[in-house]
Chain A
Amino acid sequence: SYELTQPPSVSVSPGQTARITCSGDALPKQYAYWYQQKPGQAPILVIYKDNERPSGIPERFSGSSSGTTVTLTISGVQAEDEADYYCQSADSSGTYQVFGGGTKLTVL
């Protein structure tokens, strides 16, 4: 079955830039989405279609794509950005949705 691979954890100091990667063979063909999830809460969509930002999401959140890897970048990280981040995409046929394993972002 199709898999998306994320690093388990990323740590940055406040004000620095955090980059979270997500790798999958079908990513050149399928859009990627990113979600932020804080403890006890439902996920929130922060990036859609690889690099689009929903209204209400701060500009410091951005997305990019290169080959089989997509990247969520958080510029000028703030303490409130500490959360789990998940990428999501579809397999090459577009039939099945898959989530990456999640990355815990720690703000030091």
Chain B
Amino acid sequence: QVQLVQSGAEVKKPGASVKVSCKASGYTFASYDISWVRQASGQGLEWLGWTNNENTGYAQRFQGRVTMTVNTSRSTVYMELSTLRSDDTAVYYCARANPQSGGGFDFWGQGTLVTVSP
């Protein structure tokens, strides 16, 4: 069965960087894009960007601060966010975009809580 398993919770200080991983299993990894979405407590969903083995695309407000990479041999995608601020505190999700559903996000990771605090 399709699974996206994310790394554990992180606590970081303002100005630091965080790197979250998302390990995929149960499907042909290279055939699907992965997007990253975050959600602050009590707030809505916010798209950060997407990646596959060949390309990446980032939301405009995160360009220059976010980097998404892929390790194909480990079927793992990474999202690194730098220069952290308190308003980056959120649950970060990876999600698979399925071409058969027109790119809709059909499977999601369990989420990784990133807390930015002095």
Q: Which residues of A contact B (CB under 8 A)?
A: 1, 31, 33, 35, 37, 42-45, 48-49, 52, 54, 86, 88, 95-102
Q: State in angstroms the CA–CA spacing of A53 and B114 once bound together.
A: 32
**Contact status B44-A42, CB under 8 Å:** no
Q: How far is the CB of B73 from chain A (nearest CB, A)?
A: 26
Q: Residues of B within 8 Å of A, CB-based: how many?
A: 23
What residues of B have a CB within 8 angstroms of the CB of A43 in the complex?
37, 45, 93, 95, 105, 108
What number of A-B contacts does a CB cutoff of 8 Å give? 66
Q: State in angstroms the CA–CA spacing of A86 and B93 once bound together.
A: 15
* B15-23, B24-32, B54-62, B76-84: which lies at the interface: B54-62
Q: If the complex has contacts A42-B110, A42-B111, A96-B59, are A49 and B44 also in contact, measured as CB distance less than 8 A?
A: no
